[in-house]
Amino acid sequence: MKIVTISILIAFAATAGAQTLREPISKKQSKKIAPAPPVSKQEIDGVLPRAFQPGGNPLQMLNPAAPARYGTAVQHVVIDPETGKWKGIKLFTINF
């Protein structure tokens, strides 16, 4: 009985020693790393970014007769939906 159990244990030990934990690397099996997703530019609005943008004139934002490229007051004012009157000025907003 002891001889049978010893021979079974030796057989298990012999097969366990033959196993490896490494997988062979071949060109077909190599995994490609996916590229990172592109970073999208966030839309930033408000009075402060508009005033200090390159090529702009911040004093034209105060001029009521300024050209249309400087925008209108409606773009930078928060309007109360109940009364329809202005409630505040959007100094800095991030649209996402």
Output the 3-class SS for the chain: CHHHHHHHHHHHHHHHHHCCCCCCCCCCCCCCCCCCCCCCCCEEECHHHHHCCCCCCHHHHCCCCCCHHHCCHHHHEEECCCCCCEEEECCCEEEC
pLDDT, one tens digit per residue, over 2-35 is: 788 888 878 777 666 555 667 666 656 566 788 8
Give the model's pLDDT for residue 27. Answer: 59
Report pLDDT digits (tens) over 54-93. Answer: 777 888 888 888 888 777 878 888 899 999 898 998 888 8
Give the predicted TM-score (pTM) of the model: 0.46
